[in-house]
Amino acid sequence: MIAEELGYEPRFRKNENFRTIQNAIDRFVIEKRMTPVFIFDEANYMKSATLNDLKILFNFEMDSVNKAVIILAGLPQLNNTLRLASHEPLTQRIITNYEMEPLQLEEGKKYILDKQRGAGSHMEVFEKSALEAIVNASNGIPRVIDKIVNQALVIGNALNENIITSETVMKTVEDLQV
């Protein structure tokens, strides 16, 4: 997939694909003076063999030069996987590791209100108790907060509510089975 995204025809053999990708990265660095950035979302679902391939693929000139930036984004299980002894060589190459903690109650409420303002709304949309219910039901996970908020707005609209109540949020949580 990486070779394809770089505009090359994928090869049948893994080592040929590696060479093609490494040559493409070299061209970016040398000819275009650009550092390619590869982002792998949901990396927590990557198999160990794939993570090992990344280590080999981005190993240029015996690690004397970093020619590309790799971003592995995923759920906390990714860190657990990277802590395994078999992934120590890959982990040694990680320059920065950031784990986003769940939002606390006040942070979660601010997150919702900031998104609401970002959407252009400056009026009260959720009761204070509804905001608390959303953050509590989501365990402070932003993606889950977004899901609950969106569905609560749909349900609240269907119920002709001017302000989303905690009861509407609880119905939403029940419907979503969060």
Note the pLDDT tens digit of each residue in 113-144. 999 999 999 899 999 999 999 999 999 999 99
Q: What is the pLDDT of residue 93?
A: 81
pLDDT at site 89: 86
The proportion of the chain whose per-residue pLDDT surpasses 90, expressed as a percent, equals 68
In this prediction the pTM is 0.67
Residue 62 has pLDDT above 60, yes or no: no
Q: What pLDDT shows up at residue 98?
A: 87
Kindly state the tokens that stand for 56. 């080999």
As a whole number of angstroms, the distance between CA 133 and CA 173 comes to 9
pLDDT at 94: 83
